[in-house]
Chains A and B, each alone.
Chain A
Amino acid sequence: VSVISNVETGHDDMIHDAQMDYFGTRLATCSSDRSIKIFEVKGSSQTLIADLREHEGPVWQVAWAHPMYGNILASCSYDRKVIIWQEDGHKWKKIHEYANHDSSVNSVCWAPHEHGLILACASADGSVSIMTSTAHTWESKKITNAHSIGCNAVSWAPAVASGSADGSNRSGSAVQRIVTGGCDTYVKIWRFDSTNGEWTEESKLEGHSDWVRDVAWAPSIGLPRSIIASCSQDRRVIIWMNDGVTGVWQPRELNTFDDVIWHVSWSVTGNILAVSGGDNKVSLWKESLEGQWVCLSDSAKGQPASEQRTL
């Protein structure tokens, strides 16, 4: 991972999130200066195509929806609002605003498109809202008290095809699950029970000793097992694996880093994890044959970490 080009965003303050869309052609960035900027990315050049300013406080995260719904972007901010934007022609407009949280909304994540157009929002007031869109109206459901001090991150499980992964579920509809990480150091998994329409806590994973900053559920690659990566202010990244048979999540610590880890992100094929930390380094990790996680490359060193390969 090498050729680096700098993106001139023109933001006036710190950038909190940068996400690429489904096709990898657009980049959305959001910043403390309350604006969201969208760039068209081609090779190593980027051009600004939109500047969205509706939030009244720093914008923490943006998330692209699946293109089958059109070009839709969600953003969440310190001003306790979640705004959903849609591109119409070449203009972006706000199609929905959700202001039902009592505190800053820290994270938003779209559900896999198989479930429909659904957005999960995690807030510093400790609750998680799930907003579902049906025919241009939005309904929401809240998981109150998801995490005691506040919720920092939310991620959806991939929609698994009926019967192939979750051996117990052969009825045909994919199970909706999300994973959340919060300030109470826990990583929790929630499952939607379609019989009573409620979200219930399915697992509570303990392993971190400080605020969990980001959680990411790995894309499904055709196996019954599920993998979640979580990173925390205790400078560790933990990989949680569930083999799909026993229902137990096994933790494995990826590494202890030198500084707080802010983000973890899976590649689309789901087997390479990118980790970015406070030391401004990005490293790539992959599971080796023995089940150990090895570092493929480290931006600080600039070349593959050859000495770490275990054979």
Chain B
Amino acid sequence: MKTVCVTQDVPANALALSPDNLQVVIAGRHVFKIFSIEEEDLVEKANLRAGKHLNLNFSCNDVVWNPVEDSVLATASTNGAVVTWNLNKPSRSKMDCVSFHPCESHLLISGSHDGFMKLFDLRRREATQTFTSNAESVRDVQFNPHHSMNFCAVSENGNVQLWDMRRPDRVEKQFTAHGGPIFALDWHPEVKTWIATAGRDKTIKVWDLNEIPTVCNTIQTIASVGRVKWRPNTKYHIASSALLWDCSINVWDIRRPYIPLAAFNEHKNLTTSICWRGDPNSLLSVGKDCTLIHHSFQDAARPMEDVNPAALDISIYGNISNASRIKEDSEPTGSLTKLSVFRKPANFGEHIGQVLSSIQMRNCEEDGPVSTHHLVESAKQYLLTGRSLGEICEHNAGVAKKLNRHQIALTWQILQMLYVGVGGGSDHLSGHQGSSRDDPTVQPDTSLENEQRSSRHFSGGDAGGDTSGGGFSAEEGDTETDDTDNHDLKLTNIASGMTINQDFFFGDGEITQIPFDYENLSNMDTSQDWALPNEAFEPRHDILQRSAIPPQEFSSKCSPREIQEAGYVVETPSLLSEMRGTGAPAWKCSDLVVEMLYYYATHGDVQMSVTCFIVLRDRLKELLDADQVEHWFISYIDILQHLHMECYNQVIHLQKAFPSVRQQNQQSTSVTLHCGRCNFFPLAEQSSVESNEHVFHHNPRGNL
């Protein structure tokens, strides 16, 4: 049967099912009706208030149906009366909460606010026995379904009392169950020694009533619990409704006490009473929203299923933490202990036990894709100012190479090439020749050559790569003097017109003839070496970058010069010194460099964009959008802040380099330097000088 809702005019406080589970009675201050539970609907059968005797006896706090005689009901009225109803004719007595004896249909026990419990025999008119508890008001009382002589009562002082009906003078067992008032109790329908109690402390506790009653399980809920009812035919499930704030009815599995198994959310106001219809899939309830609702278990919301079993986060250092649920592969067994772990079964059923998760921290390798190790090291070691452009590029290229960031190294070398030129400045001749080797790979003079080179790049072959890779690293940077002869042959020289006495050809056959070709090959193969593990797409970009240059541009610019220079054999030295000094590339590469900066930013390496910009700023300033650059600066500073103080010396460089950033630094709180270690928050108006000092007190080896 599906979920059905019937609305009244007034709220009901209690409900009870007839012994055959076909009828339900609801009772409240102003309502007292019987409904019949049909296939699709709840049909009102009788309105017990519609009668001539309309008095306070009719406003009820609790109602029970005689488990044996299906025409007898009893209600506890607000005026203290217990009224028993024969659906044929009514009679009366006096009380608050009532419970029928499971077998003897004429016996009724009730508990009242004054702390007494009275046993009634319906055949007589007055109470046969009175049980005095030293408690305050008795909030709930219930006969033990397994031992008909016993009943249990819970009271507002948190006590649970077990009585034997035949001994009214002395309580059989008594214990304190909750820290505050207990509002509900329910004997387990099958397990003879289990009883559930719940109260204002928002917990539901399951007790095993052995010699010494002990708590088996505790369920923490989010509001005071008003009613609890064990779910039929399931050992571990119990339904509860709250007195305040939470309008839903929750069904809990006591083995997983943190989150409900199922929740019925149909009530718009607090639920006042719940009752299982003898069947684990049907639940009836009444609420303050004046409705009587039949709930179908299959329609219930499943909070347990909707929860998120996984967690994920990446830290600034590239460490990934991941939490995931532990899944057991074994089949659930019949007996479940608290520590067993089970896979969630496909049918939302009975075998749910404790669930655990494990967290794993994955620390990435230094070269891994998420690692920021190179960013940190580069930030520490890069030079940005203080030396000539050539030296800076040289140094940075060396730093990048050591970090296995070959494309970055290449980029620095390209920059050096573009703006300083091979042999430009005394740097070159004094031994920093490592960078010059790589020029040809960057400065194409024909696109055709590009393509050939690019095909070489990919088809280079690993065998060549190994040996040349070894050779390459051995010559790191400064030690190749054997190149002196060849440097003039570099294509850049050719392109920029610095070639001296060399004949060469343009065209397809060129590569095979020129000796320095092998160095190119070795360079490329080395690049390919590192390309395989992770940064596969970068070399491709290099190619793209190169091939973007229209060939005509070069040949038109270079050839006249080159032809011109080719003739100058004798006057080489002076020419060389002249050309050295220009620093300006022979072709307009600034656009390309700007494109490169944007490329790096797009692909997440804002450090490269920012540092290149600082190094080259005068040459590029007018070509770049100031706002864009500012944005890069801010992003970079933010990343540095993530990485802590060691890198802050970089920030000083940045501030000096870009005045508007410094200004923003001063104006907005977003770029303040925050020292995470000593909780010092510099004011936004501080000048960069003061921040410098502060930086240095944590990093004495400032790099200025």
Q: Residue B309 contacts which of A22, A278, A286, A309 (CB distance < 8 angstroms)? A: A278
Rounded to whole angstroms, the CA-CA distance of A23 and B541 in the bound complex is 32
Q: Residue A161 contacts which of B325, B532, B631, B681 (CB distance < 8 angstroms)? A: B631
The answer to the question of A135 belonging to the interface, with a C-beta cut-off of 8 Å to chain B, is no
Is A27 in contact with B321, judged by CB distance below 8 angstroms?
yes
Is A164 in contact with B631, judged by CB distance below 8 angstroms?
yes
Is A13 in contact with B355, judged by CB distance below 8 angstroms?
yes
Interface residues of B in 537-557 (CB under 8 A from A): 537, 540-541, 544
Q: Residue B311 contacts which of A23, A164, A263, A306 (CB distance < 8 angstroms)? A: A263
Rounded to whole angstroms, the CA-CA distance of A280 and B325 in the bound complex is 8
Interface residues of A in 1-52 (CB under 8 A from B): 1-7, 9, 11-20, 22-24, 27, 29, 31-34, 41, 43-44, 46
Is B327 in contact with A286, judged by CB distance below 8 angstroms?
no
Contact mask for chain B residues 410-422; partner A; CB cutoff 8 A; 1 contact, 0 none: 0000000000000
The interface residues of chain B lying within 8 Å CB-to-CB of A57 are 220-222, 258-259
The answer to the question of A247 belonging to the interface, with a C-beta cut-off of 8 Å to chain B, is no
Is B222 in contact with A2, judged by CB distance below 8 angstroms?
no
The answer to the question of A282 belonging to the interface, with a C-beta cut-off of 8 Å to chain B, is yes
The interface residues of chain B lying within 8 Å CB-to-CB of A80 are 222
Is B670 in contact with A221, judged by CB distance below 8 angstroms?
no
Rounded to whole angstroms, the CA-CA distance of A2 and B672 in the bound complex is 35
Q: Residue A16 contacts which of B307, B363, B372, B625 (CB distance < 8 angstroms)? A: B307
B310 → chain A closest CB, angstroms = 4
Contact A165:B362 (CB < 8 A) given known A14-B309, A263-B310, A268-B316: no
Residue of B nearest to A27 (CB): B321
The answer to the question of A197 belonging to the interface, with a C-beta cut-off of 8 Å to chain B, is no
Is B536 in contact with A20, judged by CB distance below 8 angstroms?
no
The interface residues of chain B lying within 8 Å CB-to-CB of A19 are 311, 313, 321
The interface residues of chain A lying within 8 Å CB-to-CB of B179 are none
Interface residues of B in 277-329 (CB under 8 A from A): 303, 307-325, 327
Contact mask for chain B residues 355-386; partner A; CB cutoff 8 A; 1 contact, 0 none: 11111111111001110100100000000000
Segment from A140-148, A201-209, A250-258, A296-304 that makes contact with B: A296-304
Contact A68:B325 (CB < 8 A) given known A17-B311, A268-B314: no
Rounded to whole angstroms, the CA-CA distance of A277 and B221 in the bound complex is 29
Is B670 in contact with A309, judged by CB distance below 8 angstroms?
no
Q: Residue B602 contacts which of A6, A78, A213, A223 (CB distance < 8 angstroms)? A: A223
Is B631 in contact with A1, judged by CB distance below 8 angstroms?
no
The interface residues of chain B lying within 8 Å CB-to-CB of A9 are 359
Rounded to whole angstroms, the CA-CA distance of A22 and B325 in the bound complex is 26
Is B630 in contact with A164, judged by CB distance below 8 angstroms?
yes
Residue of A nearest to B315 (CB): A24
Is A58 in contact with B259, judged by CB distance below 8 angstroms?
yes
A304 → chain B closest CB, angstroms = 6
Rounded to whole angstroms, the CA-CA distance of A160 and B676 in the bound complex is 24
| Interface size of A in residues (CB-CB distance below 8 Å) | 86
Interface residues of A in 123-173 (CB under 8 A from B): 159-165
- The residue among A33, A46, A161 with the most chain B CB atoms within 10 A of its own CB is A161
B502 → chain A closest CB, angstroms = 36
The answer to the question of A249 belonging to the interface, with a C-beta cut-off of 8 Å to chain B, is no
Contact A13:B256 (CB < 8 A) given known A269-B605, A296-B534: yes
Rounded to whole angstroms, the CA-CA distance of A271 and B606 in the bound complex is 11
Rounded to whole angstroms, the CA-CA distance of A289 and B360 in the bound complex is 32
Contact mask for chain A residues 76-91; partner B; CB cutoff 8 A; 1 contact, 0 none: 0011100000000000
The answer to the question of B601 belonging to the interface, with a C-beta cut-off of 8 Å to chain A, is yes
The interface residues of chain B lying within 8 Å CB-to-CB of A7 are 321, 358-361
Residue of A nearest to B316 (CB): A24
The answer to the question of B147 belonging to the interface, with a C-beta cut-off of 8 Å to chain A, is no
Rounded to whole angstroms, the CA-CA distance of A262 and B609 in the bound complex is 34
The answer to the question of B485 belonging to the interface, with a C-beta cut-off of 8 Å to chain A, is no
The answer to the question of B692 belonging to the interface, with a C-beta cut-off of 8 Å to chain A, is no
Residue of A nearest to B602 (CB): A223
Rounded to whole angstroms, the CA-CA distance of A31 and B356 in the bound complex is 10
A184 → chain B closest CB, angstroms = 15
Residue of B nearest to A286 (CB): B369
The interface residues of chain B lying within 8 Å CB-to-CB of A262 are 308-310, 312
Interchain residue pairs with CB less than 8 A apart (8): A17-B323, A19-B313, A24-B319, A162-B627, A164-B630, A272-B369, A276-B311, A277-B310
For the complex with contacts A1-B368, A41-B319, 8 further pairs of A-B residues with Cβ separation under 8 Å are A1-B318, A14-B309, A14-B357, A22-B642, A78-B303, A267-B318, A272-B604, A282-B312
